[in-house]
Amino acid sequence: MALFIGCGTAEKEPRWQAITREMMEAQPVPFAPSVATVASARVVEPPRPNIVLIMVDDLGFGDLADYGSEAIQTPHLDALWENGVAFYQYYAGCTVCAPSRSVLMTGMHAGQTPVRLNSGGVPLRDEDFTLAELFKKAGYATGGFGKWGLGDLGTEGVPEKQGFDEFFGYYHQVHAHDFYPPYLIDTGRKVQLPGNEGFDYRRRAAGFIPAEENGKQRQYAHYEITKRTLEFIRKNKDRRFFCYAPWTPPHGKYHLPKDDPAVSLYLDNDWPVRAKVAAAMITMIDRQVGELVALLRELQLEKNTLVLFTSDNGPAFRFEGSLDSAGRYREAKRSLYEGGIRVPLIASWPGTIPRDIATGEIHYAGDFMAAFAQLTGTEEHVPAGCHSVPMVEAMKGARYPHRPRHKYLYWEWQRPDGSLMQAVRSGGKKIVRHATDAPWEYYDLAFDPEETKNDAAKQPRLVDRMIGFAKEAHQPMRPQKEPDKPSGRRYR
């Protein structure tokens, strides 16, 4: 049985009925200031747990068993929810990688966050305040492992200048398109991956890669990244730590070692090759989440560690008829319909978060800033203007009708052609447009979660009010300049 928590209501019902009911009912949220005061939900004695934040790349709402998938096996993530809470109205910061990561790191929505374009190397600035810097204020060890995407080598935006003691993986997000790169970056230093020379991911079709090829022993970069993730936890077991794991799978290019244990589960399915690889990638990630949780248990850290699992945006492909990666929601990555921005969020903290809860509370990636400040007692360090409200009570399944909530959530993304996509959600209502000169569409998510019935003409006053929110939220974009690169290279 799952306990479903909405906004002011709770009842016991079977797990799948809870999921179905949430999908059909988007609970309206009371209006509150659009920029909430973090201190208004202060914990008297902050618990200061360890934090593990896993954010995978391009995983859709429908890619996990507990979010409706019947195609992909994710037993360890199922268990994570059974020991915690699943959010069914949680949103990514944007519909593409770099702006979404910028929203998460800064607590500022997509209309104000420093990095707005998705070219991959636009850097954060020295004056930008990040989650890692928040944790340093609280005396935590900070480590990142995976895809950064907020500053290439030699810029102000590199993670070691943004609060991380160490970061292992990819700095420029185009570098992260390659699962067999010749090198990864270890806190500003290139580390070679012998055997990967000559592997051109751009010319390799999606598929399963042999361990040995052309006399070379290939090294799958993600395996190295997950090893370092676990090493960081082990070496910091005697102090508080923030472990940020922006793992790259299941982002395309869809390559996975042929001998990975997940491959055999999908190899014979009558699916497109990309769908097979994506499914195996997700099951691989699930296995690695299980390894991480097992390590916490071994180190006796499980009850003092909050583990969070989410995605940076919706799926790159819907994979209809095989994976159905966006679930019932419309479109996918690069769209501001629900399929592009509504993603899973699972939180587990045994002994603190009740077991097996599903919540319909509305939150987004920017809320981690307020949540972590509340948990670590660092509210005074959160910059003014953050569009962030605490979510700890929602994680615990508590019902506080007067706690801070967003007046609205806002998303935007400037497309490669220069046109601006925008969306606003206020309570259960949503407006969206996918080009600067396109008319606004209006959807009532309580009755039309698939966004099939545009009722803008029937709700002109409400649409005008929500357009006002969009105008309030959008701020001029600072210059989005890629750093200089060596001739012929897409990253440093």
Q: What strands lie across the sheet with 141-147, from one edge to the other?
A: 10-13, 2-5, 357-364, 84-91, 345-348, 305-311, 50-56, 241-245, 141-147, 166-170, 183-186, 189-192
**DSSP alpha helices (H): ranges in 217-272?**
221-235
Q: What is the mean pLDDT of residues 432-461?
A: 98
Using a pLDDT cut of 70, give the percent of the chain over it.
90
Q: Of 282-286, 308-312, 441-445, 481-485, which gets the smallest average pLDDT? A: 481-485
pLDDT higher than threshold 70 for residue 6:
no
Question: pLDDT category, 403, cuts 50, 70, 90?
Answer: confident
The CATH architecture to which 14-37+46-407 belongs is: 3-Layer(aba) Sandwich (3.40)
Distance CA 326, CA 315 (A): 6
Q: What is the mean pLDDT of residues 442-449?
A: 98
Terminal Cα-to-Cα distance of the chain (whole angstroms): 51
Q: Where are the domains of the chain?
A: 14-37+46-407
Q: What is the mean pLDDT of residues 456-468?
A: 98
Q: Looking at this protein, which amino acid is placed at residue 234?
A: R
Closest by alpha carbon to 293, among 80, 5, 7, 150?
A: 80
* Structure-token pair, residue 4: 């479903």
Q: What is the mean pLDDT of residues 247-264?
A: 97
Q: What is the mean pLDDT of residues 439-460?
A: 98
**Mean pLDDT of the residues in the chain:** 92
Q: Of 160-174, 254-268, 371-385, 472-486, which gets the smallest average pLDDT? A: 472-486
Closest by alpha carbon to 468, among 28, 31, 114?
A: 31
Using a pLDDT cut of 90, give the percent of the chain over it.
84
Tell me the pLDDT tens digit for each residue of 83-112: 999 999 999 999 999 999 999 999 999 999
pLDDT higher than threshold 90 for residue 2:
no
Distance CA 104, CA 197 (A): 34
pLDDT at 131: 99
pLDDT at 223: 99
Task: Kindly report whether the global pTM for this prediction surpasses the value 0.85.
Answer: yes
pLDDT at 470: 99
* Structure-token pair, residue 179: 């699962």
Cβ burial of 300 (10 Å; 0-12, 13-18, 19+) is exposed
Residue spans of beta strands (DSSP E) within 136-197: 141-147, 166-170, 183-186, 189-192
* Structure-token pair, residue 320: 């209809």
Distance CA 95, CA 338 (A): 10
Residue 55 gets the label, from left (phi > 0), alpha (psi -120 to 50) or beta, of: beta
Closest by alpha carbon to 66, among 301, 309, 239, 240?
A: 309
pLDDT higher than threshold 60 for residue 31:
no
Question: pLDDT category, 266, cuts 50, 70, 90?
Answer: very high
pLDDT at 398: 72
